Amino acid sequence: MAGNHQFSISKNFSYVGADTVDGLFEALEKFNNHPHLEAEIAAFAARTSTGATERAVNAVKQEMPGTTTASASASTGEVEVLTNQKGTRFTYGHPDAPDLARGGKFILMEGTGPKGNYKAWVDPSKGPKPVSPPDTPEDTRWIR
């Protein structure tokens, strides 16, 4: 639990704090030397992670092998471009992406089909990254 200290370090489920710098170093040393630290972290990870995300990502990679041409975190507003096995590019975090009605942003889909090149804003559930499907996916917005 977070305390009310002048100096502190907090990350995920850990909090170390003290009222002096020397006290903080002492508390950190005590924390790092705790005999059951690794076991406690492993137990916490086992309770909070079922591996579902990893399994979903691996399943998508097997079914739709592709490449990541640029990578960044969508949560920070940076652009990420993925290409599926058919060569269709999906751009996440595009600065011009319209808003979804349920929150979040559309992704840009670009590719070449029998009728030539195409571009559209699509619901993220239609892209290559695993996401929970919404109750009602947004309609595709074709770009001319």
Choose among 109, 124, 110: nearest CA to 75.
Answer: 124
Per-residue pLDDT reduced to its tens digit, 116-131: 999 999 999 888 887 8
Torsions phi, psi of 125, nearest 5? -70, -15
Domain range list for the chain? 7-48, 52-142
Per-residue pLDDT reduced to its tens digit, 7-18: 777 766 677 888
This prediction's pTM: 0.48
pLDDT of residue 79: 87
Question: Which residues on adjacent β-strands are paired with residue 110?
Answer: 89, 119
**Region class of 92: left (phi > 0), else alpha (psi between -120 and 50), else beta:** beta
Q: What is the mean pLDDT of residues 34-43?
A: 73
